[in-house]
């Protein structure tokens, strides 16, 4: 098999000890019925709530403690191109089977789910999850055609103020929602001035990674009714959370 960076992986047996370095994918592994195999997670793996009591914490997504992983003796590590430090991933790949995911679209996610179904010999579970996501996605796409296009700026950080630019999963999700990301001419997560904000219909303040609250709306020089706190997990957590995400997006559109 090859991972999503086209790196070859060879499996002799079905893995029994998993370390997952990606919070949204930890949640998905659990939803695929693999929680009893998960021995290590990051400190940001918060779903399900008890996962950090049943698995060891191996650091943050970009500050992995390789010595902790060595103690856990995993036979499978699940990483991500964007969320994890690739130098650490390369070091781990010398001693362990490391599958690096690269999720930029729904199609990428479905491919990952099918790969996990093959790796862990759970084809029925992986097919069911993939089908659930596809069904929710198709139904949503039918509805979104009727939504007017709205110009938005999506903030992920404060001091410095940072927005979502192009080549990100969040930008992909915004476009699926028929939102026009006014900063998609800039790459990744650029710093911007809130006092020289581009013309928008709405400003979105994400609940993560910076925990924006209602009081932060007052810092903008615009009508606060045009500023909304949005659930960042639904916009950025690729994985099984997408089954519920599309219902959330419908509710958000109704509010707007």
What 3 state SS string does 61-99 have? CCCECHHHHHHHCCCEEEEECCCCCHHHHHHHHCCCCEE
Q: CA 68, CA 59: separation in Å to the nearest integer?
A: 8
Q: Same domain, yes or no, for 60 and 162?
A: no
At residue 108, what are phi and psi to the nearest 5 degrees?
-60, -40
Q: For 214, phi and psi rounded to 5 degrees?
A: -55, -35
Q: Tell me, what's the pLDDT at 145?
A: 86
Q: How far apart are CA 39 and CA 92, in angstroms?
A: 16
Flag whether 225 is in a domain.
yes
Token pair in block for residue 113: 């789910």
Residues 109, 115, 116, 122, CA torsion sign: positive
The answer to whether residues 22 and 133 belong to one domain is yes
User: Counting every residue, how long is the chain?
Assistant: 256
Start-end of H helices in the chain: 23-31, 51-54, 66-72, 86-93, 106-119, 123-144, 169-176, 232-236, 242-255
Q: Are 130 and 173 in a shared domain? A: no
* Three-state SS at 222: coil
Q: Are residue 124 and residue 154 in the same domain, yes or no?
A: no
Q: Does 11 reside within a domain?
A: no
Q: State the average pLDDT over residues 141-147.
A: 89
End position of a domain, from candidates 80, 107, 138 = 138
**Residues paired with residue 46 on neighbouring β-strands, in sequence order:** none
pLDDT tens digits for range 52-111: 999 999 999 999 999 999 999 999 999 999 999 999 999 999 999 999 999 999 999 999
- Point out the domain boundary residue: 74, 109, 138: 138
Residue 109: cis peptide before it, omega within 30 degrees of 0: no
2 part of a folded domain: no
Q: What is the CATH number of the domain that holds 92?
A: 3.40.50.1980
Between helix 123-144 and helix 169-176 the angle, nearest 10°, is 50
Residue 220 lies in a domain: yes
* Domain carrying residue 246: 147-255
Token couple for 82: 């964007």
**For residues 232 and 153, what is the distance between their CA atoms, to the nearest angstrom?**
13
Q: Tell me, yes or no, whether 203 lies in a domain.
A: yes
| pTM of this structure | 0.92
Query: Quick one: what percent of the chain has pLDDT higher than 90?
Result: 96
Total number of domains constituting the chain: 2
Residue 147 near residue 116 (C-beta atoms within 8 A):
no
40, containing H or E segment:
strand 38-41
Q: Is 99 domain-assigned? A: yes
| 74 and 127 share one domain | yes
Pair (29, 132) in one structural domain: yes
Q: What pLDDT was estimated at residue 83? A: 92
On whether the CB atoms of residues 2 and 20 are closer than 8 A, the answer is no
Whether 123 and 184 map to the same domain: the answer is no
| Residue 146 clears pLDDT 90, i.e. is over it | no
Q: What per-residue confidence (pLDDT) applies to 153?
A: 98
Q: Is 8 within the bounds of a domain?
A: no
pLDDT mean over 214-223: 94
Residues 33 and 110 in one domain: yes
- Same structural domain, 92 and 190: no
Q: What is the pLDDT of residues 170-208, one digit of tens each?
A: 999 999 999 999 999 999 999 999 999 999 999 999 999
- Assess whether 239 and 215 both reside in one domain: yes
Nearest Cα to Cα of residue 26 among 38, 15, 16: 38
Pairing between strand 162-163 and 150-157?
antiparallel
Residues 85 and 103 grouped into a single domain = yes
* Cβ(24)–Cβ(44) below 8 Å: no
Q: Of 77, 103, 138, at which residue does a domain stop?
A: 138
Task: Say if residue 129 is in the same domain as residue 153.
Answer: no
C-alpha dihedral (82, 153, 212, 256), degrees to nearest 10: -120
Q: Is 61 a member of any domain?
A: yes
pLDDT tens readout for residues 106-117: 999 999 999 999
| The two three-digit tokens of residue 147, written as one number | 């939504």
Q: What average pLDDT does the segment 33-44 reach?
A: 97
- Per-residue confidence at 228, pLDDT binned at 50, 70, 90? very high
């Amino acid at each position: 098999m090859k991972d999503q960076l086209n790196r070859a992986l060879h499996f002799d047996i079905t893995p029994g000890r998993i370390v997952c370095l990606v919070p949204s994918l930890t949640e998905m592994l659990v939803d695929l019925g693999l929680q009893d195999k998960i021995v290590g997670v990051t400190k940001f793996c918060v779903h399900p709530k008890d996962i950090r009591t049943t698995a060891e914490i191996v650091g943050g997504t970009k500050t992995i403690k390789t010595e902790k992983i060595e103690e856990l003796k995993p036979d499978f590590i699940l990483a991500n191109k964007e969320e994890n430090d690739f130098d650490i991933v390369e070091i781990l790949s010398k001693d362990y089977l490391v599958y690096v995911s690269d999720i930029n679209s729904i199609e990428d996610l479905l491919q990952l789910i099918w790969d996990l179904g093959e790796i862990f010999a759970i084809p029925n579970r992986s097919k069911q999850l993939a089908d659930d996501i596809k069904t929710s996605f198709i139904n949503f796409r039918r509805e979104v055609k009727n939504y007017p296009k709205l110009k938005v700026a999506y903030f992920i950080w404060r001091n410095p103020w940072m927005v979502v630019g192009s080549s990100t999963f969040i930008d992909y999700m915004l476009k699926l929602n028929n939102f026009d990301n006014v900063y998609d001419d800039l790459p990744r997560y650029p710093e911007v001035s809130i006092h020289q904000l581009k013309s928008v219909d709405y400003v979105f303040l994400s609940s993560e990674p910076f925990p924006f609250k209602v009081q932060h709306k007052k810092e903008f020089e615009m009508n606060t009714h045009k500023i909304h706190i949005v659930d960042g997990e639904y916009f950025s957590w690729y994985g099984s959370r997408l089954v519920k995400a599309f219902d959330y997006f419908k509710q958000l559109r109704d509010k707007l």
